[in-house]
Amino acid sequence: MVYIMEIYADGGCRGNGQLGAIGAAAAAFKKKNGKYDCWTRTLPSYPPPTNQRAEMTAIIVALEQALEKFEELDNNPRLHVRIYSDSRYAVDCMTNWIYKWANNGWINSAGNSVANRDLLEEASDLEDRLKEEGEVDYIWIPREANEVADRLCNADLDDQRDMDVTYAS
């Protein structure tokens, strides 16, 4: 038996890469009844959040949740995990570039160190664990098709903004 998991992932950043930037990642696991199990993660302030770090963190959250869901299953089925993202960067990282970069010692085609290597290696390790149980596909979708994860991500960003209190000295 094959157990199919569909997970929508999205990341976002406000103040992209600048001091004081905020970032969030979200993953939404689509259940058979059409409802979602959802998770969000606030990005740490260091290194400064960027859109790319947020999108890769969303992939990590999706992979972590797929592993957790698998551990909850009783009959040890073969997995087919589909992770949907509106980030071409994240999808391309996981389907094309990661293998080239790993083989090149994490140096990109311009001769520079690969950005976000820490997140890419973490995602790769999680993916390897999932691939022991089946397949993992990354599918690019247009932003409007990623509404649930996008809404979750923006809600987390709004919460961070609302919690930002400036204290008088």
Looking up residue 133, the CATH number of its domain turns out to be: 3.30.420.10
Question: Is 141 inside a domain boundary?
Answer: yes
pLDDT value of position 1: 86
Total structural domains within the chain: 1
Give the tens place of pLDDT for each residue, 25-67: 999 999 999 999 999 999 999 899 999 999 999 999 999 999 9
Question: Is 31 inside a domain boundary?
Answer: yes
Mapped onto helix, strand or coil, the DSSP state of residue 49 is coil
Question: Is 147 inside a domain boundary?
Answer: yes
Question: Is 169 inside a domain boundary?
Answer: no
From first to last of the 169 residues of the chain, give the pLDDT tens digit.
Answer: 899 999 999 999 999 978 889 999 999 999 999 999 999 999 999 899 999 999 999 999 999 999 999 999 888 899 999 999 999 999 999 999 999 999 999 999 899 999 999 999 999 999 999 999 999 999 999 999 999 999 999 999 999 988 864 433 3
The CB density around residue 78, as the number of other CB atoms within 10 Å, is: 11
Question: Is 168 inside a domain boundary?
Answer: no
Please count the helices (runs of H) and the strands (runs of E) in the chain: 5, 5
> How far is residue 19's CA from residue 151's CA, in Å, rounded to a whole number?
24
Closest-CA residue to 9 (of 115, 94, 101, 132) = 94
Q: What is the extent of the structural domain holding 87? A: 2-163
